[in-house]
Chain A
């Protein structure tokens, strides 16, 4: 069976076959990375989100075959960065985390948003996070956190 090669959390990896398998399952089962969660399995909630070449992607919709040559980062890899430190602190200060099930996806969506737009307006943050569902908060505290992170992390993005 053919290998699919990609970079996962900064390490080159090769995954054997099952080209139709969902990236979400590959990450959770083959690599034991449980940070990406399954909330809906249909691309609606963003709990399974990962970064692929800096863009936020729902891994439940991503077939393994399409990962060839990509640079993939999960919350496990991202949590070692300085930008994560700034984001998690802002999330804490703004009370953006309740049950935490949406949080890894939200943090990665925040990263992808700030990467593309380091100085977003509130409206832009709302649009940037609208692919990620959270049922515990009313998003306002998450939006605040992203705006705070943009300020506190000036120059990081």
Chain B
């Protein structure tokens, strides 16, 4: 049999290259109305009065009073209203929709709405903490008391916009008392479970269909639930299909982004320059509503010692609420922030202690059997030393580092070590998600994969079908994986957290093994497989103690940069990465995850800059929120080591987020080494480098 890692053409290749794939904006159901959103112009205040212009025949406004059920979007914290009623909490908060047949008319009507507000004092700093956690490992107090030296630094990361190329969009279609939603989404069942309470109907009355999705990166995890609720309310009121499709400026202004973070790390250094304890204080800006922030914070906190073993830990984390656009899921989900901080911290500790950063890091690297920061266990082999060795060879690290070691050579290399905890944090899979998959064997001996996993470009359509075909020894074209429709497929969980291949793929492998045992040619059969947590997973949510993840994927990145001595423009000269994702399900698809993840991660570190002034975003489109073009990227060299995970399908672990996480610290370290000034804040834009070179610490 062929090795599962051998690449195959993607099953949706043709429709995407020939341009026949129909994304949500390409669909226009008979009689559909357009919808535009009227939004808060102020960061904080109350609505005093709102006067609509006369609406022509066929036009309607839709607001909180039209909601048949509850005015709250079910995410994890249900604190975000579908439409603001009285209090306005951020610039861009939705107040009402105008719907009608002609978009130009709608735009005119929208600008004729008269809103009077009573402003309240907005909060933009961290004074309103809304979620707070704390955990301890070992005895940090004693370790600090005994310390030979204590070193402390603060690190900061900025906003990042997912900038999926396809803007958000949702269509709601009412048929009798049934509501169908078609949207650019990652999580069909999240959308369904959000719309049901808002319409106040029973669960069988809401159906969610996923068409091809033009990129998501977390940006279509929870946000689409909001616009699905709005479109559904509008469709219920007007009894017509409603299309709520964003244009780019609106998408940038109001959709969720990566949480900005402020991370304070303090280390107790003992004999032999060993880090005996770390105390950390992690603060994430949640924006106006919490949504998923709690879970994002958990992921940051759990990785507070990065790829290293530190015997004593005291970690506090909080999410603070501000009068700015809500932040939310973004590839990496709290991990890119903490790995930037920890990797830079270890580099800075080494420098302060007069040690070589790489040797210092390797001495502290976690080993199989070590306790994690939350006192769980790294059960599986950790191949990082071997991966580092390979990355150093590939990049010619030692020679180059020597060569660039002058005062300010404007050229430098940086290296990062990192992991990604695969799947939901803690016991989420078992207690919240409870995934279920189905396989249907038809009489013609073809097989349908019935799951709610979404292909948003990462190749799930191909990899998951491939796992089934491979297990059943069938040619790939006999296995179909149709676009998810909640009326047909069970809830296999959201397409998030690098869980799709490992968890959903793992269930499909099991189902396929059972199907194989029952296979009778010409006979139709359908079977269901449900998630069972491995019994060794023990997680205490309250104490933040135990095994936070069933498995960890690991990575090593080396990045080389040059910095223009006059403009401080950074140029990526090359990157070299080695990843351990267990076992690759398709090499080319993995390579694609590496290519895209590295690019987003690098840009997070030095290029993508988004600022909010007095609650208003300074960046309005892709003309001023700059993301990389073909001229900014590559070449990237990537290698994979095999380290099969017993519970993953064919040994696979998660891969989608890992490739982003190490890039920002590696590029920041490279820039630091190139300019001879410490970097503690990303993005390291030319302006910030100028400031560092003039005033920064060596």
Which chain A residues have a beta carbon within 8 Å of chain B's beta carbons? 28, 34-42, 44-45, 47, 74-76, 79, 84, 87-88, 91-92, 94-95, 97-104, 107, 125-127, 129-143
Number of chain B residues close to chain A: CB under 8 A: 56
Give the distance in Å from the alpha carbon of A84 to the alpha carbon of B18 in the complex. Answer: 9
Give the distance in Å from the alpha carbon of A56 to the alpha carbon of B212 in the complex. Answer: 25
Contact count A vs B, C-beta below 8 Å: 169
Given contacts A75-B19, A137-B596, contact A98 B167 (CB under 8 A): no
Contact A42 B634 (CB under 8 A): no
Contact A136 B215 (CB under 8 A): yes
- Nearest-neighbour CB distance to chain A for B85, whole angstroms, equals 32
**Does B25 interact with chain A (Cβ within 8 Å)?**
yes
Task: Report 27 cross-chain contacts, Cβ distance below 8 Å, ordered by A residue.
Answer: A37-B214, A38-B247, A39-B165, A40-B623, A42-B623, A44-B623, A45-B165, A84-B18, A88-B14, A95-B589, A98-B215, A98-B592, A99-B164, A99-B216, A99-B457, A100-B212, A101-B23, A104-B19, A129-B630, A133-B622, A135-B217, A135-B600, A136-B596, A137-B592, A138-B633, A139-B599, A143-B634
B625-672 contacts to A (CB < 8 Å): 627-631, 633-636
Give the distance in Å from the alpha carbon of A139 to the alpha carbon of B603 in the complex. Answer: 14
Q: Which residue of B lies closest to A44 (CB)?
A: B622
**Does B10 interact with chain A (Cβ within 8 Å)?**
yes
Contact A88 B629 (CB under 8 A): no
Contacting residues, chain B, for A139 (C-beta < 8 A): 595, 599, 628-630, 633-634
User: Which of A75, A88, A138 contacts B634 (CB under 8 A)?
Assistant: A138
Contacting residues, chain B, for A130 (C-beta < 8 A): 629-631
Contact A76 B19 (CB under 8 A): yes
Q: Which residue of A lies closest to B27 (CB)?
A: A34
Contacting residues, chain A, for B600 (C-beta < 8 A): 135
Q: Which of A36, A38, A100, A130 has the most CB of B within 10 A?
A: A100
Given contacts A42-B621, A129-B630, contact A103 B592 (CB under 8 A): no
- Nearest-neighbour CB distance to chain A for B613, whole angstroms, equals 22
Contacting residues, chain B, for A135 (C-beta < 8 A): 162-165, 215, 217, 596, 600, 627
- Nearest-neighbour CB distance to chain B for A122, whole angstroms, equals 9
Q: Which residue of B lies closest to A94 (CB)?
A: B588
- Nearest-neighbour CB distance to chain A for B598, whole angstroms, equals 6
**Does B9 interact with chain A (Cβ within 8 Å)?**
yes
**Does B16 interact with chain A (Cβ within 8 Å)?**
yes
B206-236 contacts to A (CB < 8 Å): 212-217
- 6 tightest A-B contacts by CB? A35-B19, A99-B457, A100-B16, A101-B214, A138-B599, A98-B457
Q: Which residue of B lies closest to A35 (CB)?
A: B19
Which chain B residues have a beta carbon within 8 Å of chain A's beta carbons? 7, 9-10, 12-23, 25-26, 162-167, 212-217, 247-248, 456-459, 588-589, 591-592, 595-596, 598-600, 621-623, 627-631, 633-636
Given contacts A38-B247, A44-B621, contact A99 B167 (CB under 8 A): no
Contact A140 B215 (CB under 8 A): no
- Nearest-neighbour CB distance to chain B for A24, whole angstroms, equals 11
Q: Which of A36, A75, A103, A127 has the most CB of B within 10 A?
A: A103
Give the distance in Å from the alpha carbon of A42 to the alpha carbon of B252 in the complex. Answer: 13
Q: Which residue of A lies closest to B457 (CB)?
A: A99
Contacting residues, chain B, for A40 (C-beta < 8 A): 248, 621-623
- Nearest-neighbour CB distance to chain A for B351, whole angstroms, equals 30
With A34-B19, A39-B622, A135-B627 known, 18 other A-B pairs at CB within 8 A are A35-B20, A37-B23, A38-B247, A40-B621, A44-B622, A45-B622, A84-B17, A88-B18, A95-B7, A100-B15, A101-B166, A130-B631, A133-B622, A134-B165, A138-B628, A139-B629, A140-B595, A140-B636
Contact B25 A38 (CB under 8 A): yes
- Nearest-neighbour CB distance to chain A for B169, whole angstroms, equals 10
- Nearest-neighbour CB distance to chain B for A85, whole angstroms, equals 10
Contacting residues, chain A, for B18 (C-beta < 8 A): 35, 75-76, 79, 84, 88
Contact A92 B165 (CB under 8 A): no
Given contacts A41-B247, A44-B623, A97-B10, contact A91 B17 (CB under 8 A): yes
Q: Which residue of B lies closest to A34 (CB)?
A: B26
Q: Which residue of A lies closest to B245 (CB)?
A: A38
Contact A141 B622 (CB under 8 A): no
Contact A107 B633 (CB under 8 A): no
Given contacts A139-B630, A142-B630, contact A74 B621 (CB under 8 A): no
Contact B165 A42 (CB under 8 A): no
Contact B457 A100 (CB under 8 A): yes
- Nearest-neighbour CB distance to chain A for B17, whole angstroms, equals 4
Given contacts A40-B621, A134-B165, A138-B628, contact A98 B13 (CB under 8 A): no
Contacting residues, chain B, for A133 (C-beta < 8 A): 165, 622, 627, 629
